[in-house]
Amino acid sequence: MREFTEDTLTDAVVRSFEACGDPRLKEVLASLVRHIHDFVREVEPSEAEWMAAIGFLTRTGHTCDERRQEFILLSDALGVSMLVDAVNHHAPEGATESTVQGPFYVERAPEFERGADISGGVPGEPLFIEATVRSAEGKPIAGATVDVWQSDDEGHYDLQRPDLGEFHLRGRFRADEMGRVWLWSIVPRFYPIPDDGPVGELLRASGRHPFRPAHVHFLIEAPGHERLVTHVFVEGDPYLDSDAVFAVKRSLVRKLETRASGTEPDGKPIGRAHAHLAYDFTLRPVSGVG
């Protein structure tokens, strides 16, 4: 019979993974056990507190469905998503910085022609977005896939508004031979992350607000280059310095210019007042390529 004490239990649990045939899984499990056990020794939670924590995680799981991922939200709110992003994406000088994907990305967003309007009739101030995708050498990347999604001017995503149906304020575009993509949308607004579930309870209990600054999401892919997931934030937003998910980076903040008219990159005239957002994205080559 083996008996374990506070001092010997951790090593015993770690040794229980010795027969694990996956070296990486073995490493991760051993480290996880050591950190959790050290946390328990440091905090000394009561049994009631530990059960409350388990109840919290249970409610978090029950809140997840095909339209909502509460565990991603929890990861975001605790800064874990940004930390995972940071350790995986050490951007070389000149490359566009990445940030969290967030819980509202949809893989099957429809593809549009350049210059299309992705608002789907959702009201708001017209926003014209221009983006250029380049390689680390500054060359345009023709055919790059650019996914775009954002909130409306009340801070809601289409996934949060079943009355709208699917695919509003999101779409997929292909860059032209000069690496350019352009489209119409509406000016996004700052918004609270969903706070009617367990993550909201945690924020309120800890004295934190749930707001994210206004931004547009971009996911860009091209052969031979690393996938880029990032945002472009709106300069002047009141929550730039206190983003609930810690995702703001100075290089990703841009000013919205107010224009009375203009011309689209293909020469089509713009005959209405609008806000204008421009950003040049630089992709990193896949390791060993380029």
Given a cut of 70, is residue 289 above it in pLDDT? no
Given a cut of 80, is residue 277 above it in pLDDT? yes
Q: Which residue has the tokens 């508004």?
A: 161
**Does 46 fall in a domain?**
no
**Does 180 fall in a domain?**
yes
**Does 143 fall in a domain?**
yes
Domain that holds residue 97: 91-282
**Does 200 fall in a domain?**
yes
**Does 72 fall in a domain?**
no
247 neighbors 82 (Cβ within 8 angstroms): yes
The tokens for 263 are: 């011309």
> Going along the chain, which residue ranges are E strands?
126-134, 145-150, 170-174, 180-186, 191-192, 211-212, 215-221, 228-234, 253-254, 257-259, 262-263, 269-270, 274-282
Given a cut of 90, is residue 219 above it in pLDDT? yes
Q: Residue 94 — pLDDT band, cuts 50, 70, 90?
A: confident
**Does 113 fall in a domain?**
yes
In tens, the pLDDT along 79-89 reads 999 999 999 88
**Does 10 fall in a domain?**
no
- Structural domain tally of the chain? 1
What is the length of the chain? 290
**Does 215 fall in a domain?**
yes
Given a cut of 80, is residue 262 above it in pLDDT? yes
In tens, the pLDDT along 184-199 reads 999 999 999 989 999 9
In tens, the pLDDT along 231-250 reads 999 999 999 999 999 999 99
Note the maximum CA span of the chain: 83
Quick one: CA dihedral 236, 73, 63, 218, positive or negative? positive
Taking the C-alpha atoms of residue 213 and residue 192, their distance in angstroms, rounded to an integer, is: 9
In tens, the pLDDT along 47-80 reads 999 999 999 999 999 999 987 889 999 999 999 9
Share of the chain above pLDDT 90, in %: 82
Tell me the CATH number at 232: 2.60.130.10
